[in-house]
């Protein structure tokens, strides 16, 4: 596990190093070097050896320990050596260091933002990068475009020793998770969670307690997690949104999300808290 601290940055250092880390993307797939079951991001020197030229949307990300981090979109598609591969970030869960994976999540969102904000949404003029700030600004009308961020609220509903878990149609087979949904204009986080739980499973909740948050680059979310208590209502899954939902005792949980996700940490820590209270 990486013990280095990542310090975000915008201004690129004056001197490059072969040890710099490069987060290079082809669409939403990251270039990594495979090392058995694990993988890592290439350095600047290794990138040159692979014959990959960092092209458009080139940005400085910050510093991880003593190494500067950069990202860029990939222009062409050379033949890669057997040890190098393009991988979606979800497929790298458990294969790559979690700190590095979090930086990759930041990087892919910056790439996507830069690629989709090259022209002003108000007047159509070409935009330019703003000095000292992560923004693209229109030189004609002054409109500034910042990286997109969509807050989403997740809630784990408790009923005594049971947890309300549900599955979306696009989940892997047999996997259940906590309920979640995006914040709408004019809503508080608490109002969002109450509405989403009501809409998705027909249940009323109370006593919302903040748990934690996690950036989630699929595509550009910020997950904000809560624990809540059940008040009333019978489970009625929302057609098209919820494939199945049920109450699960802590001793008979279904397949759960990957440990890297905040959903899994939310479930694991709540289960541990319930188990401790009844021990």
E strand or H helix at 273, and its extent? helix 262-278
Exposed (0-12), middle (13-18) or buried (19+): which is 59, by Cβ within 10 Å? buried
pLDDT category of residue 52 using cuts at 50, 70 and 90 = confident
User: What H or E segment, with its residue span, contains residue 72?
Assistant: strand 67-73
Tell me what the mean pLDDT of segment 59-86 comes to.
87
Cβ-in-10-Å burial (0-12, 13-18, 19+) of 132 comes to exposed
Count the Cβ atoms, other than its own, within 10 Å of residue 187: 15
Q: How far apart are CA 27 and CA 50, in angstroms?
A: 18
Annotated binding residue 219? yes
241 annotated as belonging to a binding site for a ligand:
yes
Q: Does 86 carry a binding-site annotation?
A: no
Annotated binding residue 146: yes
Q: How would residue 2 be classed by pLDDT, with cut points 50, 70 and 90?
A: low
Tokens of 146: 């910042």
pLDDT, averaged across the chain: 93
Residue 49 reports pLDDT greater than 90: no
Asked if the model's pLDDT at residue 82 lies above 90, the reply is no
Instruction: Label residue 92 exposed, middle or buried (CB < 10 Å: 0-12, 13-18, 19+).
Output: buried
Q: Which is nearest to 192 in space by CA: 171, 223, 146, 149?
A: 223
CA distance 161 to 198: 21
The answer to whether the beta carbons of residues 165 and 175 sit under 8 Å apart is no
Question: What's the CA gap between 70 and 21, in Å, rounded?
Answer: 6
81 carries a ligand binding annotation: no
Q: Is the pLDDT of residue 70 over 90?
A: yes
Task: Tell whether 13 is in a known binding site.
Answer: no
234 is in an annotated binding site: no
| Number of neighbours of residue 245 by Cβ within 10 angstroms | 21
Q: Which residue has the higher pLDDT, 56 or 196?
A: 196
CA separation (Å) from 162 to 110, 171, 249, 275?
A: 40, 22, 4, 11
- 142 by Cβ neighbours in 10 Å (0-12 / 13-18 / 19+) ranks as exposed
Structure-block tokens of residue 137: 């600004």
Phi, psi of 23 (to 5 degrees): -100, 90
The answer to whether 123 is annotated as binding is yes
pLDDT of 271 > 90? The answer is yes
Residue 221 labelled as part of a binding site:
yes
pLDDT of residue 4: 86
Residues 171-228: pLDDT tens digits?
999 999 999 999 999 999 999 999 999 999 999 999 999 999 999 998 899 999 999 9
pLDDT class for 78, splitting at 50, 70, 90? low
Locate 92 and state its tokens: 């790298």
Is 215 annotated as ligand-binding?
A: yes
Residue 73 annotated as lining a ligand binding site: no
Domains in the chain with CATH codes: 6-116 (3.90.79.10), 120-147 (no CATH), 150-278 (3.90.79.10)
What span, in angstroms and rounded, lies between the C-alpha atoms of 155 and 162? 14
Q: What pLDDT does residue 110 have? A: 96
Q: Tell me if 74 is assigned to a ligand binding site.
A: no
Query: pLDDT for 118-150, tens place per residue?
Result: 999 999 999 999 999 999 999 999 999 999 899
Determine if the peptide bond prior to 180 is cis (ω within 30°): no
Q: Is 2 annotated as a binding residue?
A: no
Among residues 143, 180, 144, which one has the least CA distance to residue 263?
Answer: 180
C-alpha span between 253 and 250 (Å, rounded): 6
The residue-averaged pLDDT of 65-69 equals 96
Say how far apart CA 210 and CA 245 lie, in whole Å: 23
């Amino acid at each position: 596990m990486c013990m280095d601290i990542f310090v975000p940055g915008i201004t690129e250092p004056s001197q490059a190093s072969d040890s710099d880390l490069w987060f290079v993307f082809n669409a939403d797939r990251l270039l990594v070097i495979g090392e058995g079951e694990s993988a890592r991001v290439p350095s600047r020197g290794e990138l040159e050896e692979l014959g990959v030229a960092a092209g458009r949307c080139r940005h400085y990300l910050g510093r991880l320990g003593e190494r500067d981090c950069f990202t860029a979109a990939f222009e062409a598609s050379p033949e890669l050596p057997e040890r190098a591969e393009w991988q979606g970030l979800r497929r790298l869960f458990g294969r790559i260091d979690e700190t590095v994976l979090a930086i990759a999540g930041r990087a892919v969102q910056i790439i996507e933002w830069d690629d989709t904000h090259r022209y002003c949404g108000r007047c159509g003029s070409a935009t330019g990068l703003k000095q000292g700030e992560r923004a693209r600004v229109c030189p004609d009308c002054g409109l500034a475009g910042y990286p997109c961020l969509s807050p989403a609220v997740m809630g784990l509903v408790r009923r005594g020793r049971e947890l309300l878990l549900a599955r979306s149609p696009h989940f892997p087979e047999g996997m259940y998770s906590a309920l979640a949904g995006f914040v709408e204009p004019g809503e508080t986080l608490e109002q969002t969670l109450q509405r989403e739980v009501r809409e998705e499973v027909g249940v009323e909740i109370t006593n919302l307690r903040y748990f934690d948050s996690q950036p989630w680059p699929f595509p550009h979310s910020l997950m904000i997690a809560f624990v809540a208590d059940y008040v009333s209502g019978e489970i009625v899954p929302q057609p098209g949104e919820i494939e199945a939902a049920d109450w699960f005792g802590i001793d008979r949980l279904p397949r759960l999300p990957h440990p890297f996700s905040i959903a899994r940490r939310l479930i694991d820590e709540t289960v541990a808290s319930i188990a401790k209270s009844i021990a």
